[in-house]
């Protein structure tokens, strides 16, 4: 998606060690017009997937998931990283290592919002090592639901995360794929 690539080039920063800073338009401050365009594109790509729910991880996945859900007319469920007191005692829970946080985080979903009849489309901000998305896959499997697709705004192909989902035989779509990030450069895959 050319609009997203241009924004990454204009406002993104290669911080080294495979870290891409996109805080000014995705991860801290959100550009609603860009998210709307990304949601429209995800909806186009997954229009025939048959999804009944969209699943993401808090917090950076919420904006692209919500904009996609608006176009597909689906509810969004997001995996919490802390269990609020309003959540039931019995929850769906898994652990996922976080590269940017430098620690393992919990991903928690209430079973009342992710049941075994659901067809789940996972939408997130990044696909890098694939660990967060693998956590969302595990939550979906624990719930007994089916995964119908995975969509990410930005994929760092050089980290190999996509290969972790081949066994699922589902579409994996990334709107901007980065082939490599040498020095201070960002090189997109064509």
Could you tell me if residue 186 is inside a domain?
A: no
When pLDDT is averaged across residues 81-98 and rounded to a whole number, the result is 85
Lowest model confidence (mean pLDDT) among 27-36, 103-112, 153-162, 168-177: 103-112
Does residue 40 fall inside a structural domain? yes
pTM of the model: 0.95
State which residues form the domain around 105. Answer: 2-180
Q: 113 to each of 4, 81, 109, 110, 143, how far by Cα in Å?
A: 31, 16, 7, 6, 10
Q: Does any domain span residue 190? A: no
Q: How many domains does the chain have?
A: 1
Burial of residue 113 (CB within 10 Å: 0-12, 13-18, 19+) is middle
Measured in residues, the chain has a length of 190
114 lies in some domain? yes
pLDDT grade for 43, boundaries at 50, 70 and 90:
very high
Domain-embedded: residue 25: yes
DSSP character string of 68-94: HHHHHT--EEEEBSS--TTS-SS-EEE
What CATH number is given to the structural domain containing 83?
A: 3.40.50.2020
d(CA 69, CA 173): 16
Q: What is the pLDDT of residue 100?
A: 66
Cβ-contact 32, 40 below 8 angstroms:
no
The predicted-structure confidence for 126-171, as pLDDT tens digits, reads as follows: 999 999 999 999 999 999 999 999 999 999 999 999 999 999 999 9
Give the model's confidence band at 87: pLDDT under 50 very low, under 70 low, under 90 confident, else very high.
confident
Residue 188 resides in a domain: no
Tens-digit pLDDT profile for residues 178-188:
999 999 899 99
Q: Can you give the pLDDT at residue 89?
A: 85
**Count of beta carbons in the 10 Å neighbourhood of residue 60:** 21
Residue 185 lies in a domain: no
Mean pLDDT of the chain: 95
DSSP 62: H
**Assigned domain for 187 exists:** no
Phi, then psi, of 174 in degrees rounded to 5 = -120, 135
């Amino acid at each position: 998606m050319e609009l997203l690539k241009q924004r990454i080039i204009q406002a993104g920063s290669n911080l080294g060690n495979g870290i891409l800073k996109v805080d000014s338009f995705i991860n801290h401050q959100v550009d609603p017009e860009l998210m709307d365009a990304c949601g429209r594109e995800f909806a186009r790509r997954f229009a025939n997937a048959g999804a009944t729910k969209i699943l993401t991880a808090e917090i950076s996945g919420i904006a692209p998931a919500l904009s996609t859900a608006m176009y597909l007319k689906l509810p969004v469920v997001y995996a919490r990283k802390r269990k609020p007191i309003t959540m039931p005692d019995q929850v769906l829970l898994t652990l996922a290592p976080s590269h940017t946080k430098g620690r393992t985080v919990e991903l928690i979903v209430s079973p009342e919002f992710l049941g075994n009849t659901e067809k789940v489309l996972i939408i997130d901000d990044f696909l890098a090592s694939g660990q967060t998305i693998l956590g969302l896959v595990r939550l979906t499997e624990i719930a007994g639901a089916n995964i119908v697709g995975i969509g990410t705004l930005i994929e760092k192909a050089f980290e190999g995360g996509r290969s972790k989902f081949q066994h699922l035989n589902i579409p994996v779509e990334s709107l901007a794929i980065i082939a490599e990030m040498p020095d201070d450069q960002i090189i997109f895959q064509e």
